[in-house]
Structure 1
Amino acid sequence: MTEQSRAVDATTTPDAASTPPTSGNPALRKALDAAARILGEDRVLRPENDERATRLLGPNASLFRTRRVAAVLRPATAGQVPELVELFAGDTGSGSLHVVSTGRNWGLGSREPADDDAVVLDLGGLDKVRELDLEAGWAVVEPGVTQGHLSRLLAHTPRLVNVTVSAAATSVLGNALDRGVGLRGQRTDDLAGLEVVLPDGETVRVGWWPTEDRTAPVYPHGLGPSPLPLFVQSSLGVVTAAVIRLAPRPEALRVVRLDFPQSALSAATDAVRRWVAQGLTRGVPRIYDPAAARSYGGTEGEFLVHLPVDGTAEAVEALTGILTAEARRSGLFTQVTATEAIDPAHPNHEVARLVERGYAGDPDIADVLFRAKMGVPADRVDAEAGFVFFLPLLPFTGADVSRADGLLREAAAATGTRLSATLHLLGPDLIDCVVAMKFPREGDAPERAHRALDLLHTSFADAGYAPYRLDVDHAHRRDALAADPGALALTRRLKAVLDPNNAIAPGRYR
């Protein structure tokens, strides 16, 4: 398959057949008829022919090849999900379920399955916050609960949700299960318990789960082996709810901003690492390359650093003073400031205020920054925007960051694709590098962006920098990226035991 054939517009379809794709598959047709009896026919979308089968999900922002979809099921309650899963567990001919939450997995495939002919199980209608305990710091949420929804419930309370910089309408649970990263830390760390429908239809709760008589504190690991991590980036079950931990809201918060030139990349990275290692900054500090920095008011041609500090007012004042003094003393930074968000006269005031609110658990309900970066509102991203993500992990050293920056420049030069990178600093040793490749949807720009993505997968792997999330067109790299073939074989043995008929589609992490 050529790059051009992969990066096609979602409206481009193969030759249409004259009969529905389910007509030759009695087991699938039987399962879908039974699903319609459970859900109601209006919640089962079936294609009339092969052309419609490639249009059921609509376009995707990355212009990945549009997969042929057998049907879309939209349950209204979590109680309907076990019945649906059972329909596909008994017969290998009935197909597999590809599960989505709100479907806004932009840059990695949106709602698209990794393979053709899956039945999409859309859990966006499961949008209840079932329970909320502000004292103990947890909420039980379903897959359709968005970070905007949950953050509104937590407004003016002593707790906050760990939000990402994506749109307010994105799923809290869906992002956590794909190992997304929020402004307070890795979202997998927010998962305290999961409600999972196994392939045979049984519902189990793993990790910590609230009960009427339970007074024990939130502790996800329990006794003995913990099965909770088995359902992250997993096709071993369908998650219908989760216990999400809610962090205490800090009494005060400030973001220190630093700018530095390309020539200081390695030294500035090492300086920031020292401050992270010594606990001078909280949450997830970020370093933006010059392209990514534009959306945050960065100085043209320079890198931008955001260092959040929080705690009591006195602690914030002290840490802000220490960081700004250290940064100025280093001589590496062209600008050092911590007052943009509190100075209404500063030209970058509004953006800085939104950044600080994000670190405080507010996902920017109006999507001001998101729209500035994407150029379109959230409900039009898949139809009008064009971008793909590449998400490698890097060692937190100046040498590695400089090497990664060089690889990005090489891919951009080779393909003529615009790249931007944001480094999420996940502690003193680890960086999550978010590379966005934006492109116009016309002409050969999509093909060039996809070629850049392929180049980055190859060059970063050769350098030892593996991705922690995959897009739908690179699911085949799962084997090559496995740290230990034995561990990968173990997960596949578990899959064979729990789901011998492949009721749940293997997806991007097969």
Structure 2
Amino acid sequence: MTVLPESVTGPHGSTDAALRAVLADAARVVGADRVTHPGEEPDGAPVTPLGPNVSLYRSRTVHGVVRPQSADEVRRLVALFADGSTGARLHAFSTGGNWGLGSREPAADGAVVLDLSGLDQIRDIDVAQGWAVVEPGVTQARLATLLAGTERMLNVTVSSAHTSVVGNALDRGVGLRHQRVDDLMGLEVVLPDGETVRVGWWPEAARPTPVYPHGLGPSLVQLFVQSDLGVVTAATVRLLPRPEALRVVRLNFAPRDVEAATAEIRRWVAQGLARGVVKIYNEAAAAAYGGPAGQYLVHVCVDGTRESVAALTGVVTAEAERSGLFSAVSATDAEDPEADNHDVAVRVERAYAGDPDPSDALFEAKMGRPAVRLDEEGGFLFFLPLVPFTGAALARADALLEQVRVETGVRCGATLNALGADVVDCVVTMKFPRGGEEADNAHLALDRLYELFATEGFIPYRLDIEHTDWADRLAPDTGARAFARRLKDAVDPHRVIAPGRYA
């Protein structure tokens, strides 16, 4: 028997019998031990069942956390809320590792949270065709381990190996090969009325069709990316061909050469000399990868057959040396046990080859603690704008980061991820000790980053839970935002699914 606390209230603060009844029904669906309710401090203040978050964002008021273990349980839970009678909305997360943007927190108060980490099945996989059907609780370490030694690999990120493949892709996270949203071939979604639909490409045992996400008619997969139109319970994820050989060329350059050096790197990308995402780390970000003090660090991946890798490595190193822009050029750190950065170089090359490193050695070096302790002990903020891939634009972005340092005292790390020859994902990070002036300054710096970069036309492609209003402020067309709301009205008239950071 589940005893619900008297403090469970409706959206306006009064005791809500309907919400209490639905939460009791939810406990019967998943089991009473899989429903957590808010507690209270001795002074009567509510205690969130979501725990702390690494960014020190305000904890949202939630009515409870429900932890289903199957897609059918999710369907039944959504159906309980489908008529809108409780006034509460459902907020889902995969594994909760959305660090720097809100972790497990909803964007707004008053949600019932669905923790989908218990949906952790790899339902099906076809290495030859290059796809896997995975649930939200499947981590990149688990899927990558399953693929070890095969002809296919996962497009991994440089975050913790124990983060969700599906959750990161749905928020347009960036892997080492390309944006992960491009790996979404199909989605299984529970709609706000409790119906389950599959959009995009899905495997058919009796009819092995080519893997292609768009199908006929409107392409619906992207409708559920950064979306509040349903709860995703599984995805068909593309698996990439594993290269026969791979090498990462490591370069350094001085900050004064940002414009010229990035323009040169852009030329290499445009001419097809690099594979995957070229990564450029500023001085603050480079330290975790063994970059020399006061220098930028660059990772340029080349892969293919052994012969092509040897040739391309020679071309890239020759181009770098001929330019005169780079203070160091090396393509052998991962092969030379005596190299200063040998261990880091090996882990970097393995990551480009689809191994996210279950030990999380690089992640812990960057964050200073294991992933399981990050929300409780760490201090970390993300800002994620897109910048044109030109030397002038990247030099301007660097100048804006310096302006923020002068104004707030916060030195931001920045990783420039080349998503092709025309656009760079600029991952700006701010680390700080919990509490005190440093945390306050980091949040002031984040506000200034939004203002300065937006004014320059460098628009973020992911938002944190404290800057959701920027979705409207940055929209290039108000009509498009209005159309998105009309879709929400049609699909979810009772507002069953909580508005997210982009609604």
For normalisation by structure 2, the TM-score amounts to: 0.97
Q: Hey, what does 1:197 align to over in structure 2?
A: 190
Q: Is 1:69 aligned with 2:34?
A: no
Q: Is 1:38 aligned with 2:26?
A: no
Amino acid across the alignment from 2:166: L
Amino acid across the alignment from 1:438: K
The correspondence for 2:9, drawn from 21, 35, 57, is 21
The correspondence for 1:136, drawn from 112, 129, 134, is 129
* Gap runs ≥5 in structure 2: none
Task: Tell whether the 8 Å contact from 1:44 to 1:71 is kept in structure 2 after alignment.
Answer: yes
- How far does residue 211 in structure 1 lie from its aligned partner after superposition? 1.3
Q: Is 1:219 aligned with 2:207?
A: no
Runs of 4+ in 1 over 6 A off after TM superposition: none
Q: Distance in 2 between matches of 1:100 and 1:19?
A: 24
- Name the SS of the counterpart of 2:104 in structure 1: coil
Q: Distance in 2 between matches of 1:256 and 1:40?
A: 52
- Name the SS of the counterpart of 1:392 in structure 2: strand
- How far does residue 187 in structure 1 lie from its aligned partner after superposition? 0.2
Task: Tell whether the 8 Å contact from 1:418 to 1:439 is kept in structure 2 after alignment.
Answer: no
Equivalences for residues 346-495 of structure 1 within 5 A: 346-495=339-488
Q: Distance in 2 between matches of 1:47 and 1:318?
A: 60
Deviations 1:169-199 (A, max 9, x none): 1000000000000001100000000000000
Higher mean C-alpha deviation, range 21-30 or range 166-175: 21-30
Q: Distance in 2 between matches of 1:203 and 1:361?
A: 32
Q: Distance in 2 between matches of 1:48 and 1:134?
A: 47
Equivalences for residues 176-255 of structure 1 within 5 A: 176-255=169-248
Q: Distance in 2 between matches of 1:64 and 1:479?
A: 21
- How far does residue 414 in structure 1 lie from its aligned partner after superposition? 1.1
- How far does residue 152 in structure 1 lie from its aligned partner after superposition? 0.6
Q: Is 1:325 aligned with 2:318?
A: yes
Amino acid across the alignment from 1:354: R
- How far does residue 214 in structure 1 lie from its aligned partner after superposition? 2.0
Higher mean C-alpha deviation, range 21-30 or range 301-310: 21-30
- How far does residue 30 in structure 1 lie from its aligned partner after superposition? 1.7
* Gap runs ≥5 in structure 1: 1-16
Task: Tell whether the 8 Å contact from 1:47 to 1:71 is kept in structure 2 after alignment.
Answer: yes
Task: Tell whether the 8 Å contact from 1:420 to 1:437 is kept in structure 2 after alignment.
Answer: yes
- Name the SS of the counterpart of 1:340 in structure 2: coil
Task: Tell whether the 8 Å contact from 2:7 to 2:15 is kept in structure 1 after alignment.
Answer: no
Q: Hey, what does 1:5 align to over in structure 2?
A: none
Cα distance change on mapping 1:243 and 1:57 into 2, 3 Å? same
- How far does residue 250 in structure 1 lie from its aligned partner after superposition? 0.2
- Name the SS of the counterpart of 1:28 in structure 2: helix
Q: Hey, what does 2:302 align to over in structure 1?
A: 309
Task: Tell whether the 8 Å contact from 1:31 to 1:87 is kept in structure 2 after alignment.
Answer: yes
Q: Distance in 2 between matches of 1:361 and 1:339?
A: 20
- How far does residue 21 in structure 1 lie from its aligned partner after superposition? 3.5
Task: Tell whether the 8 Å contact from 1:134 to 1:158 is kept in structure 2 after alignment.
Answer: yes
Task: Tell whether the 8 Å contact from 1:234 to 1:509 is kept in structure 2 after alignment.
Answer: yes
Cα distance change on mapping 1:351 and 1:52 into 2, 3 Å? farther
Q: Distance in 2 between matches of 1:140 and 1:229?
A: 17
- Name the SS of the counterpart of 2:118 in structure 1: coil
Deviations 1:366-395 (A, max 9, x none): 011001010000100000110100000000
Amino acid across the alignment from 1:47: P
Q: Distance in 1 between matches of 2:46 and 2:203?
A: 41
- How far does residue 93 in structure 1 lie from its aligned partner after superposition? 3.1
Q: Hey, what does 2:332 align to over in structure 1?
A: 339
Q: Distance in 2 between matches of 1:287 and 1:53?
A: 44
- Name the SS of the counterpart of 2:65 in structure 1: strand
- How far does residue 26 in structure 1 lie from its aligned partner after superposition? 1.7
Amino acid across the alignment from 2:245: A
Task: Tell whether the 8 Å contact from 1:147 to 1:363 is kept in structure 2 after alignment.
Answer: yes
Amino acid across the alignment from 2:327: T
Task: Tell whether the 8 Å contact from 2:8 to 2:16 is kept in structure 1 after alignment.
Answer: no
Amino acid across the alignment from 1:361: G
Amino acid across the alignment from 1:249: R
Task: Tell whether the 8 Å contact from 1:259 to 1:302 is kept in structure 2 after alignment.
Answer: yes
- How far does residue 18 in structure 1 lie from its aligned partner after superposition? 8.1
Task: Tell whether the 8 Å contact from 1:21 to 1:49 is kept in structure 2 after alignment.
Answer: no
Q: How many pairs were matched up?
A: 494
After superposition, the CA RMSD in angstroms is 1.3
